[in-house]
Amino acid sequence: MSAQAYSQERLMKVLIAPQISEKATYVADKNEQVIFKVATDATKPEIKAAVELMFNVKVDSVQVAFVKGKVKRTGRFTGRRNHWKKAYVCLASGQEINFAAGEQG
């Protein structure tokens, strides 16, 4: 499906933030993939359409992982961080997303 199949308002809410970490950088260099934190109810086609719309790149495939929230303690109280979903977006060969460059005109 293309970006036209979904409302643009929904696609803007699918991607929450890019994951910037050592592992994410390693994966980006090795496999031409970018890792995003996405909405927990987002589907693979929605994630693909959102990335293509926002960054003007061609997406080959999307893999998703559901990350369980960690249990944390503050004094005698225990709590749990929220569960979240992460998406490994595989870009077409030659495509790249550069977050460090900032806004492009």
For residue range 35-52, list pLDDT tens digits in order. 999 999 999 999 999 999
Average pLDDT, integer, range 1-10: 74
The confidence score (pLDDT) of residue 105 equals: 42
Q: Please state the pTM of the whole predicted model.
A: 0.82
DSSP-derived secondary structure for 43-82: -HHHHHHHHHHHH---EEEEEEEEEPPPEEEETTEEEEPP
For residue range 62-103, list pLDDT tens digits in order. 999 999 999 999 999 999 999 999 999 999 887 777 766 655
Evaluate whether the domain defined by 3-91 bears CATH number 1.10.3720.10. no
Residue ranges per domain, the chain? 3-91
For residue range 22-36, list pLDDT tens digits in order. 998 898 888 889 999
